[in-house]
Structure 1
Amino acid sequence: MRRLTAHFIPAALSLACAMPPAAAWAQQATSLPPNDAPSPAAPGVHPDVRLPAPATPVRVEEIKVSGNKQVSTPAIMAVVPFHVGSMVTQAQITQGLQDIMKLYQQQNIGGKFHQNLRLDGKRVQVEWAIEETGGPAHLNKPLVLESLGFDGNLHIATSALKEAVHRQPGDQVTPATVLEDEKAIQALYVKKNIGVTIVPESRAPHKDERVTLVYHLTEKATD
């Protein structure tokens, strides 16, 4: 039996999609990536090296995220429904990219998202490159906080979280003040020796200068 050594090669899927920057930091974009569309194998690939079908599960060997400045890599990986070592299809990988885009939508940050898969018959390397094109860090117009909420907090009471943040309904908020309150929430969790990922989501339900704000929390309690 002839042994074939297959190196990682340009993948059966490479896509790019854009999400425009929000017109105001309380508004959200809605663009999502297109459906999977396998592309031909790269020139020079050995004819015996067969790319897996889009529905065939492969093992994730590596995940790379680059270009993200306003959203941390841990926050991005917290919303991806798989990790290194998982068995996934190409469609599931693209769903991971969609989840990242939704995270950017929640934080009202525009961007272009590029996905490249390098795979052989059994393994895949996932590369996500993000070009941020705008977002809360670039917009300073103050808005009036209409309501404040929290979800996902299992180990710290909502009343304690409301006391920790500085802005309350009726106050003016900007991306800078939201960041300050994120740090206050983080400090409370550090004091309790609990890890947490914080994702703020702002909405303007009345299409005016009033905004609702919800902090989505993913707790990681220590043993």
Structure 2
Amino acid sequence: MKPSSRYALAGLALIAGTVASPCLPVIGAATPAMAASAPAADAPLTLKILKVEGNNAITTADIMAALPYHVGDTVTREQLDAGVQKVADLYKAKNLGAKFSEKERFVKNTVQFYLVIEEQAPSAAPAPAPFVLDKVEFVGNKQVPTAELEAATKLHPGATVTAEAATADTVAIQKVYQKHNLGVQIQPVATQPNHDNHVVLTYQITEK
């Protein structure tokens, strides 16, 4: 007689934790250029000043290394904007949130460029406390001794309880019944009698 098993991990659904999504960079609108009239977006300009402000999580040296231009280079306003995106990508790669704004000052055919960074504090929630097993119970097993089921399973008092571990033990119980050529239906249920992170794991067994 082949065993059948039905997994109802309703109690163990409490074990699932939450993972906060990382705060991704947001590029803010550039501030108006500090000049009466800004040059065309593709007009060549000599980069006279390049400064970064507001960064703490990432060093200025790393940000400068990410920028594709340096003081003395010939750049366009389009290239300056593209460089800001490179810095945004750097923050994103490090799972850091930030907003970016630009301040530009044009003097004849030169540009003074200031990148202002507003870093966002991480919002990750603290990890939930692990669930600790206080007791394992086997209910409904009449043809297979409890001692044999305890020997076949790995979750014991004091262990950390996960849905995966309970499922593995459920399969182990199923194999014991298969060895005895007995059919079985198994329903593991985790409860929290004291409403804390300690659980009692009960295997409700229906023999066939």
The bucket for the TM-score relative to the shorter chain is 0.3 to 0.5
TM-score, scaled relative to structure 1? 0.42
Q: Which has the larger radius of gyration?
A: 2
Higher RCO (CA 8 Å, separation ≥ 6 residues): 2
